[in-house]
A and B are shown apart, each in its own frame.
Chain A
Amino acid sequence: MLRLRKELENNIQVIESIESWEKAIELASKPLLEKNKIEERYVESMIDNINKLGPYVVLMPRIAMPHSRPESGVIESCMSLLKINTGVAFSKDKNKEKVNIIFILGAKDNDSHLELISQLTDLLEDETKIENIILAEDENKILNLIN
């Protein structure tokens, strides 16, 4: 089984809409907080990062991967997925597409998460699969698309 799939299992949430990108990051982090993979301060650090450096965590239209440094509160390398059906804006620029999928990345050190990132990169390059994930109705359907 792909490491990406293993990490995302039980860490996927689907919602209709959410009021802000900050709230979206908080919600997306919830399963990882509950499983003690990250600390509360890691969530704040991810939000601070975007406030400081801009929405560069938006990897491509509709997809974002918020993350911060290992020392900002990562207990174990991990990943979660939040799908927002109607999307949420990350940028003040109205012309920029909303984000439908948020991958929270927690990296414990500089390299234990690289396999995960590399598998995620392959997934993101598969346009049909991404489209299907955005259209998927529930957590299980999303997980089944990640193989």
Chain B
Amino acid sequence: MKILVMCGNGLGSSFMMELNVKKVLKKLGVTAEVDHTDLSSAKTVQADIYVGAKDLMANFKKDNIKRIELENIMDLNEIERQLVAYL
């Protein structure tokens, strides 16, 4: 499974989310490849689940994908709740 985390520039907040997603996966005992990138590159990358902040994901148009839109990217419980729904 591949999880792609995105932010506007693919530098700051997406890396924070990557760290947080990895923490949640570890807790759940799930193995997955997690990577971070910027919004425009994300459109061309194939992944099983796409993750981003809610405000940003409104700009991410891609059909038929599993998406996780986070209100608070630092909230591990929110990440876990949304992630579990797709596992």
Please report the C-alpha to C-alpha distance between residue A107 and residue B15 in the assembled complex, in whole angstroms.
12
Number of A interface residues in the complex (CB < 8 A): 29
Number of B interface residues in the complex (CB < 8 A): 24
Asked if B20 contacts A53 (CB within 8 A), the reply is: no
Q: Which residues of A contact B9 (CB under 8 A)?
A: 49, 67-69
B75 nearest CB neighbor, chain A only: A60
Counting residue pairs across A and B whose Cβ atoms lie within 8 Å, the total is 70
Question: Would you list the 3 A-B pairs with minimal beta carbon distance, nearest first?
Answer: A54-B55, A56-B56, A60-B74
Asked if A54 contacts B58 (CB within 8 A), the reply is: yes
Asked if A67 contacts B12 (CB within 8 A), the reply is: yes
Interface assignment of B64: CB less than 8 Å from any CB of chain A: no
Interface assignment of B7: CB less than 8 Å from any CB of chain A: yes
Q: How does the 8 Å CB contact mask read for B58-87 relative to A, with 1 for contact and 0 for none?
A: 110000000000001111100000000000
